[in-house]
Amino acid sequence: MNLKTYAEIRRLLSVTSILIQFALDMIVSTLYRPRGLRRRSFARRMLAITARLILRRPAGIIRFPVRLRQTIERLGPTYVKLGQILSLREDLLPRRITYELRNLQTKVPPISYEEAKKVVEGEFNVPLRHIFKEFAPKPVGAASLAQAHIAYLRNGQKVVVKVQRPGIIPIMTSDLRIMQRLAWVLQQIPYIQDFQPQKLIQEFSDYTMKELDFTQEGKHADIFRENFKDDSDVILPKIYWEYTTKKVLTLEFIEGVKPDDTEKLKKLGINGPRVAALGARVVIKQLFVDGFFHGDPHPGNIFIVGTEKFCMIDLGMIGQFTQKTMNAMFLYYYYLIIRDYETASKYMVGLTETTPHSDIAGFRAEIEEIGKRWIGAGFKNYSLGKLILNSMNMGARYKLYFNKDIMLAIKAIVTIEAVGYILDPKMDLARVSLPMMSEIFIGRISPARMAKPILRALPDYLDFIEQAPATLLKTLGMVSSGKFQIEMVEKTVSKAPREPVWKLWIPLVALFLGIVAMSADSPPGGDLALGRSVHLPWASALSFAIAGWYSLRFWRMRKA
């Protein structure tokens, strides 16, 4: 038995011991709990006391969500991270459990200065004084995976250094293997397998291993900075790559005010409504334009810089959409804010993963009804975020499930709405979102955008046209030599005249010429612009008209 296997067995025994204690606590708590309005019988009270004394458990009723949260904290950082992820999954777990899991510890006792120093020196193989001019011994924040210190580079630049806790990787790797084995067992149980425990744990494992590599967080920051390079109101901290490794992340120090620090906001005269609208715009762009978004934009991860600038930090938890998912999510949100609940429900179903037991019709009817209750309600009574979250919560009831990135997106919407309410108690997220959503919608249906896939496929079309004569001659040669035979079957159902084969080339050539003409009208070196594409030159318009007319004619002939 090697050391890795031995360590994993020890960890498994430790986890099992904690889980057994949790089970015993809940058994005793159940015995103490009265059944409905009736008092416990004498026999039940004696059984509860006897069980408590034999099992050495505390007396009294313990709420299941509370004990679950406490048990997760005892299990360590891997399970704390899992609990934090599960707190988002209101589509899978009862709300009373997810609410309690949100109280999982985010601040833990920091490691000592000597331990942090040892990690940094181990990563760079030089003394700490040769890396940083100054390094604050006391951290400004500590979490389950890492802690942050203020430091100064050799050139005097003030930075924040994020240092990973020593020994965290072997513990979490072992825990993840244990979770995956347990998930496999749960997957074999008929009732539980509908909740896809294996997939849930696999998603969590992939996310956690990425978060343990601080270079990934640095790459996320660079991607966000590139996505917002043309927006001067959005700030992302610069990453100092020469001082960054898998266990140490060095980033620019940015001075700002947290959005929930209302006293400082008033003193600085910050325009709350404008910043709230800016935050909503930032999240909408991430979700529906970039498809790459901050998964946890709570007040601790946001700074207001100056009086009207928006800064995001702690970019370890991110979500990413495929183009198909982003389109479905966009259309769901768009039709939701214009209050077309029937269409919105159709696109919401498109975001789910179904099972043989899924009730799609029932789910759609339920979320349409939820949408109707939202009409006319203010933020305090029924916010847009609450509407979306309640709709998602109906999924598990009808056996439809959402993946991790969808739930992260919903959390981003709900969180930025809550942050916006702090800054502007009168903010209506639907009203704030509508102008930008309408702009994105118009951009998506513009001829320029719709022509892009055709332009990308042009090399294939040209290659096909170039090779067509040789392919045709080769095919005719095979037919004449008897290697290839064509059987002509006469259809008597339809006597409609057929167009000559050579005319099939007319719409293709016309479409090609139209695209070329439109491309010539676009800005040099840039994408096709909506304003330009609306006023196409006459050659492009004529070519598209010919292609459309012939396509319609062939379609009618084929239908006949």
Dist CA 107 CA 89 (whole Å): 22
- On whether the CB atoms of residues 253 and 243 are closer than 8 A, the answer is no
pLDDT confidence of residue 506: 53
The answer to whether 233 touches 210, Cβ cutoff 8 Å, is no
Strands (DSSP E) found in 313-422: 318-320, 353-354, 400-401
Q: Which of 224, 244, 227, 248 is nearest to 236 (CA)?
A: 224
> 546 by DSSP, 3-state: which?
helix
254: its two tokens: 């940015």
The 10s digit of each residue's pLDDT in 9-34 is 888 888 888 888 888 777 777 666 65
Q: Which residues in the chain show pLDDT less than 70?
A: 1-4, 30-49, 51-61, 88-92, 105-107, 191-195, 374-382, 445-560
The DSSP secondary-structure symbol of 296 reads: -
Terminal alpha carbon distance of the chain: 75
DSSP bridge partners of 150: 160
Full 3-state SS string of 400-418: EECCHHHHHHHHHHHHHHH
Q: What is the pLDDT of residue 184?
A: 86
Return the structure tokens found at 519. Answer: 């491309």
Is the Cβ–Cβ distance between 328 and 346 less than 8 Å? no
Cα 65 to Cα 31, 68, 411: the distances in Å are 17, 5, 21
Instruction: Identify the pLDDT of residue 527.
Output: 40
Q: Is 147 exposed, middle or buried (0-12, 13-18, 19+ CB in 10 A)?
A: buried
Write down the pLDDT at residue 430.
85
pLDDT 10s digits, 471-523: 666 666 665 665 555 555 554 444 445 545 445 445 545 555 555 444 444 44
Listed by start position, the domains of the chain span 3-62, 170-209, 256-445, 447-475+497-559
Residue 84 is encoded by which pair of tokens?
A: 């934090």
Helix (H, G, I), strand (E, B) or coil at 252: strand
Which residue type sits at 394? M
- What is the sign, positive or negative, of the torsion defined by CA atoms of 126, 238, 422, 298? negative
Contact between residue 110 and residue 147 where contact means Cβ atoms under 8 Å apart: yes
